[in-house]
Amino acid sequence: MTRASEGVEPPAAPAPRSTSAAREILVPSLHDEVLARLRDFIVEGNLAAGARVPERLLCERFGISRTPLREALKVLASEGLIELLPNRGARVRRIGEREMVELFDVMGGLEALAGRLACERLTEAGFAEIERLHHAMYGHYLKRDLHGYFACNQAIHDRIVEAADNAALKATYASFAGRLRRARYSANLDANRDRWGEAMREHEEILDALRRRAGAELSDILFRHLRNKRRAAADREADLAE
Protein backbone atom coordinates (compact mmCIF):
# COMPACT_ATOMS: atom_id res chain seq x y z
CA MET A 1 0.00 0.00 0.00
CA THR A 2 1.13 3.45 -0.68
CA ARG A 3 0.19 6.18 1.72
CA ALA A 4 -3.31 5.25 2.85
CA SER A 5 -3.95 1.93 4.47
CA GLU A 6 -7.42 1.78 3.00
CA GLY A 7 -10.01 3.98 1.47
CA VAL A 8 -10.69 5.17 5.00
CA GLU A 9 -10.54 8.77 3.93
CA PRO A 10 -12.14 10.19 0.82
CA PRO A 11 -9.73 11.81 -1.63
CA ALA A 12 -9.73 14.74 0.73
CA ALA A 13 -7.30 17.08 -0.97
CA PRO A 14 -5.38 15.27 -3.66
CA ALA A 15 -5.06 18.53 -5.50
CA PRO A 16 -1.48 19.12 -6.60
CA ARG A 17 0.09 21.55 -4.17
CA SER A 18 -0.01 25.03 -5.59
CA THR A 19 2.98 25.59 -7.80
CA SER A 20 2.81 29.34 -7.54
CA ALA A 21 5.78 30.93 -9.23
CA ALA A 22 6.57 33.00 -6.14
CA ARG A 23 10.27 32.87 -5.32
CA GLU A 24 10.64 30.79 -2.18
CA ILE A 25 7.12 29.43 -2.29
CA LEU A 26 5.29 28.99 0.97
CA VAL A 27 5.45 25.33 1.95
CA PRO A 28 2.65 23.49 0.18
CA SER A 29 3.70 20.77 2.61
CA LEU A 30 2.22 17.33 2.82
CA HIS A 31 2.62 16.16 6.39
CA ASP A 32 1.81 19.54 7.91
CA GLU A 33 -1.69 18.57 7.01
CA VAL A 34 -1.46 15.81 9.58
CA LEU A 35 -0.19 18.36 12.06
CA ALA A 36 -3.05 20.72 11.34
CA ARG A 37 -5.63 17.97 11.40
CA LEU A 38 -4.35 16.53 14.64
CA ARG A 39 -4.20 19.96 16.22
CA ASP A 40 -7.78 20.65 15.24
CA PHE A 41 -8.77 17.23 16.43
CA ILE A 42 -7.42 18.02 19.87
CA VAL A 43 -8.43 21.67 20.05
CA GLU A 44 -11.97 20.75 19.11
CA GLY A 45 -12.02 18.59 22.17
CA ASN A 46 -12.31 15.16 20.57
CA LEU A 47 -9.87 13.93 23.17
CA ALA A 48 -10.63 14.40 26.83
CA ALA A 49 -8.16 16.35 28.93
CA GLY A 50 -5.63 14.00 30.45
CA ALA A 51 -6.51 11.20 28.04
CA ARG A 52 -3.74 9.39 26.28
CA VAL A 53 -3.32 10.01 22.60
CA PRO A 54 -3.80 6.68 20.85
CA GLU A 55 -1.08 6.52 18.20
CA ARG A 56 -2.23 3.37 16.46
CA LEU A 57 -5.82 4.57 16.26
CA LEU A 58 -4.98 8.00 14.88
CA CYS A 59 -2.68 6.46 12.32
CA GLU A 60 -5.59 4.49 10.95
CA ARG A 61 -7.86 7.50 11.26
CA PHE A 62 -5.51 9.59 9.14
CA GLY A 63 -4.34 6.78 6.92
CA ILE A 64 -0.66 7.31 7.66
CA SER A 65 2.10 5.47 9.46
CA ARG A 66 3.43 6.28 12.89
CA THR A 67 6.42 8.30 11.77
CA PRO A 68 4.65 11.46 10.54
CA LEU A 69 2.15 11.23 13.35
CA ARG A 70 4.87 11.11 15.96
CA GLU A 71 6.51 14.12 14.35
CA ALA A 72 3.24 15.98 14.69
CA LEU A 73 3.01 14.92 18.33
CA LYS A 74 6.41 16.40 19.05
CA VAL A 75 5.34 19.70 17.54
CA LEU A 76 2.07 19.76 19.44
CA ALA A 77 3.98 19.09 22.61
CA SER A 78 6.21 22.07 21.93
CA GLU A 79 3.07 24.12 21.43
CA GLY A 80 1.86 23.04 24.84
CA LEU A 81 -1.25 21.22 23.66
CA ILE A 82 -0.09 17.81 24.79
CA GLU A 83 2.64 16.48 27.02
CA LEU A 84 5.06 13.68 26.30
CA LEU A 85 5.62 11.29 29.16
CA PRO A 86 8.96 9.42 29.03
CA ASN A 87 7.99 5.95 27.99
CA ARG A 88 4.29 6.40 28.41
CA GLY A 89 3.34 8.25 25.24
CA ALA A 90 1.39 11.46 24.80
CA ARG A 91 -1.40 12.84 26.95
CA VAL A 92 -3.71 15.76 26.31
CA ARG A 93 -2.46 18.50 28.57
CA ARG A 94 -4.63 19.28 31.53
CA ILE A 95 -5.08 23.00 32.07
CA GLY A 96 -5.26 23.87 35.74
CA GLU A 97 -6.63 27.02 37.31
CA ARG A 98 -3.15 28.43 37.67
CA GLU A 99 -2.17 27.81 34.08
CA MET A 100 -5.45 29.18 32.81
CA VAL A 101 -4.68 32.46 34.52
CA GLU A 102 -1.22 32.46 33.01
CA LEU A 103 -2.51 31.85 29.51
CA PHE A 104 -5.10 34.60 29.82
CA ASP A 105 -2.44 37.03 30.95
CA VAL A 106 -0.24 36.22 27.98
CA MET A 107 -3.23 36.64 25.68
CA GLY A 108 -3.79 39.99 27.34
CA GLY A 109 -0.20 40.96 26.72
CA LEU A 110 -0.43 39.93 23.08
CA GLU A 111 -3.67 41.82 22.56
CA ALA A 112 -2.16 44.84 24.24
CA LEU A 113 0.74 44.65 21.83
CA ALA A 114 -1.58 44.17 18.88
CA GLY A 115 -3.57 47.22 19.88
CA ARG A 116 -0.49 49.35 20.16
CA LEU A 117 0.83 48.29 16.79
CA ALA A 118 -2.60 48.62 15.22
CA CYS A 119 -2.67 52.26 16.30
CA GLU A 120 0.52 52.84 14.36
CA ARG A 121 -0.63 51.14 11.20
CA LEU A 122 -4.40 51.19 11.04
CA THR A 123 -5.81 52.85 7.94
CA GLU A 124 -9.03 54.83 7.91
CA ALA A 125 -10.68 52.01 6.00
CA GLY A 126 -9.42 49.51 8.56
CA PHE A 127 -10.80 51.58 11.38
CA ALA A 128 -14.12 52.00 9.60
CA GLU A 129 -14.39 48.23 9.32
CA ILE A 130 -13.77 47.75 13.03
CA GLU A 131 -16.21 50.53 13.82
CA ARG A 132 -18.81 48.78 11.70
CA LEU A 133 -18.22 45.53 13.57
CA HIS A 134 -18.43 47.39 16.86
CA HIS A 135 -21.84 48.81 16.00
CA ALA A 136 -23.03 45.44 14.77
CA MET A 137 -21.86 43.97 18.04
CA TYR A 138 -23.74 46.64 19.95
CA GLY A 139 -26.84 45.71 17.99
CA HIS A 140 -26.47 42.10 19.06
CA TYR A 141 -25.92 43.26 22.61
CA LEU A 142 -29.19 45.19 22.59
CA LYS A 143 -31.02 42.23 21.13
CA ARG A 144 -29.36 39.98 23.68
CA ASP A 145 -28.06 37.87 20.82
CA LEU A 146 -25.14 36.18 22.51
CA HIS A 147 -24.03 34.23 19.48
CA GLY A 148 -23.95 37.22 17.15
CA TYR A 149 -22.29 39.32 19.83
CA PHE A 150 -19.58 36.80 20.33
CA ALA A 151 -18.88 36.47 16.62
CA CYS A 152 -18.46 40.24 16.27
CA ASN A 153 -16.35 40.38 19.40
CA GLN A 154 -14.01 37.75 18.02
CA ALA A 155 -13.92 39.50 14.66
CA ILE A 156 -12.94 42.80 16.24
CA HIS A 157 -10.07 41.31 18.18
CA ASP A 158 -8.94 39.45 15.09
CA ARG A 159 -9.01 42.65 13.06
CA ILE A 160 -6.87 44.38 15.61
CA VAL A 161 -4.31 41.61 15.46
CA GLU A 162 -4.52 41.68 11.69
CA ALA A 163 -4.02 45.44 11.66
CA ALA A 164 -0.88 45.04 13.76
CA ASP A 165 0.56 43.50 10.62
CA ASN A 166 3.09 41.34 12.42
CA ALA A 167 3.36 37.71 11.35
CA ALA A 168 5.18 36.56 14.47
CA LEU A 169 2.57 38.17 16.70
CA LYS A 170 -0.26 36.72 14.67
CA ALA A 171 1.16 33.20 14.86
CA THR A 172 1.81 33.40 18.58
CA TYR A 173 -1.63 34.83 19.19
CA ALA A 174 -3.24 32.02 17.21
CA SER A 175 -1.28 29.44 19.16
CA PHE A 176 -2.37 30.76 22.52
CA ALA A 177 -5.93 31.19 21.35
CA GLY A 178 -5.92 27.51 20.44
CA ARG A 179 -4.61 26.46 23.82
CA LEU A 180 -7.27 28.47 25.57
CA ARG A 181 -9.98 27.32 23.26
CA ARG A 182 -9.12 23.72 24.03
CA ALA A 183 -9.91 24.47 27.63
CA ARG A 184 -13.32 25.59 26.44
CA TYR A 185 -13.10 28.77 28.42
CA SER A 186 -13.72 31.33 25.76
CA ALA A 187 -16.75 29.71 24.16
CA ASN A 188 -19.33 30.25 26.84
CA LEU A 189 -17.72 33.14 28.61
CA ASP A 190 -20.18 35.88 28.16
CA ALA A 191 -23.13 33.95 29.43
CA ASN A 192 -22.50 35.96 32.56
CA ARG A 193 -24.98 38.79 32.13
CA ASP A 194 -23.39 41.12 34.65
CA ARG A 195 -20.11 40.90 32.83
CA TRP A 196 -21.77 41.57 29.49
CA GLY A 197 -22.55 45.20 30.07
CA GLU A 198 -19.08 45.81 31.46
CA ALA A 199 -17.48 44.19 28.45
CA MET A 200 -19.58 46.35 26.15
CA ARG A 201 -18.43 49.48 27.94
CA GLU A 202 -14.83 48.36 27.67
CA HIS A 203 -15.32 47.93 23.96
CA GLU A 204 -16.51 51.51 23.73
CA GLU A 205 -13.23 52.54 25.28
CA ILE A 206 -11.33 50.30 22.89
CA LEU A 207 -12.99 51.87 19.88
CA ASP A 208 -12.39 55.34 21.24
CA ALA A 209 -8.70 54.76 21.87
CA LEU A 210 -8.39 53.17 18.46
CA ARG A 211 -10.04 56.18 16.83
CA ARG A 212 -7.56 58.49 18.52
CA ARG A 213 -4.73 56.08 17.69
CA ALA A 214 -3.79 56.21 21.35
CA GLY A 215 -1.45 53.22 21.40
CA ALA A 216 -0.33 53.12 25.02
CA GLU A 217 -3.84 53.78 26.24
CA LEU A 218 -5.40 51.12 24.03
CA SER A 219 -2.71 48.73 25.12
CA ASP A 220 -3.67 49.23 28.73
CA ILE A 221 -7.39 48.92 28.08
CA LEU A 222 -6.96 45.71 26.13
CA PHE A 223 -4.91 44.09 28.85
CA ARG A 224 -7.45 44.98 31.50
CA HIS A 225 -10.22 43.86 29.17
CA LEU A 226 -8.68 40.40 29.01
CA ARG A 227 -8.12 40.41 32.75
CA ASN A 228 -11.80 41.06 33.35
CA LYS A 229 -12.74 38.45 30.80
CA ARG A 230 -10.61 35.96 32.64
CA ARG A 231 -12.11 36.92 35.95
CA ALA A 232 -15.59 36.40 34.54
CA ALA A 233 -14.53 33.04 33.16
CA ALA A 234 -13.11 32.03 36.50
CA ASP A 235 -16.28 33.11 38.28
CA ARG A 236 -18.37 31.14 35.87
CA GLU A 237 -16.17 28.13 36.44
CA ALA A 238 -16.69 28.52 40.15
CA ASP A 239 -20.44 28.63 39.56
CA LEU A 240 -20.36 25.47 37.53
CA ALA A 241 -18.25 23.75 40.11
CA GLU A 242 -20.73 24.33 42.88
Partner DNA sequence: TCCCGCAAAATTGAATGCAAAATTACGCGA
Partner DNA sequence: TCGCGTAATTTTGCATTCAATTTTGCGGGA
Q: How far is the CB of 53 from DNA (least distance, A)?
A: 7
176 binds, among its own copies, DNA, none (CB under 5 to 8 A by kind): its own copies
Q: How many positions of this chain bind its own copies (CB under 8 A)?
A: 43
Q: Which is nearer to its own copies, 60 or 99 (CB)?
A: 99
> For the chain, what percentages of helix, strand and coil (3-state, to nearest 5) are there?
65, 5, 30
Residues 64-83 that bind its own copies (CB under 8 A): 67, 70-72, 74-75, 78-80, 83
The answer to whether 181 and 187 have CB atoms below 8 angstroms apart is: yes
User: Buried b vs exposed e over 87-100: b needs ≥16 C-beta within 10 Å?
Assistant: eeebbbbebeeeeb
Query: From residue 15 to residue 54, what is the string marking binding to DNA with x (rule CB under 7 A)?
Result: ---------------xx--------------------xxx
166 binds its own copies (CB under 8 A): yes
Q: Which is nearer to its own copies, 71 or 202 (CB)?
A: 71
109 binds its own copies (CB under 8 A): yes
Instruction: Tell me 67's DSSP state.
Output: H
- Name the residue among 104, 75, 88 with its Cα closest to residue 183: 104
78 binds DNA (CB under 7 A): no
Q: How far is the CB of 123 from DNA (least distance, A)?
A: 39
Q: What is the DSSP string of 23-57?
A: SS-----SSHHHHHHHHHHHHTTSS-TT-B--HHH
154 binds, among DNA, its own copies, none (CB under 5 to 8 A by kind): none
Q: How far is the CB of 62 from DNA (least distance, A)?
A: 9
Contacts 24+ apart (CB under 8 A), 182-188: 182/42, 182/43, 182/45, 182/81, 182/92, 182/95, 183/49, 183/95, 183/100, 183/103, 184/45, 185/100, 185/233, 185/237, 186/233, 188/236
5 binds, among DNA, its own copies, none (CB under 5 to 8 A by kind): DNA
Q: How far is the CB of 60 from DNA (least distance, A)?
A: 11
Query: From residue 81 to residue 110, what is the string marking binding to DNA with x (rule CB under 7 A)?
Result: ---xxxxxxx--------------------
User: Buried b vs exposed e over 134-167: b needs ≥16 C-beta within 10 Å?
Assistant: bebbbebbeeeebeebbebbebbbbbbbbbbebe
Which region, judged by CB under 7 A, interacts with DNA, from 65-73, 132-140, 157-165, 174-182?
65-73
Name the site residues for DNA (rule: CB under 7 A).
1-5, 30-31, 52-56, 64-68, 70, 84-90
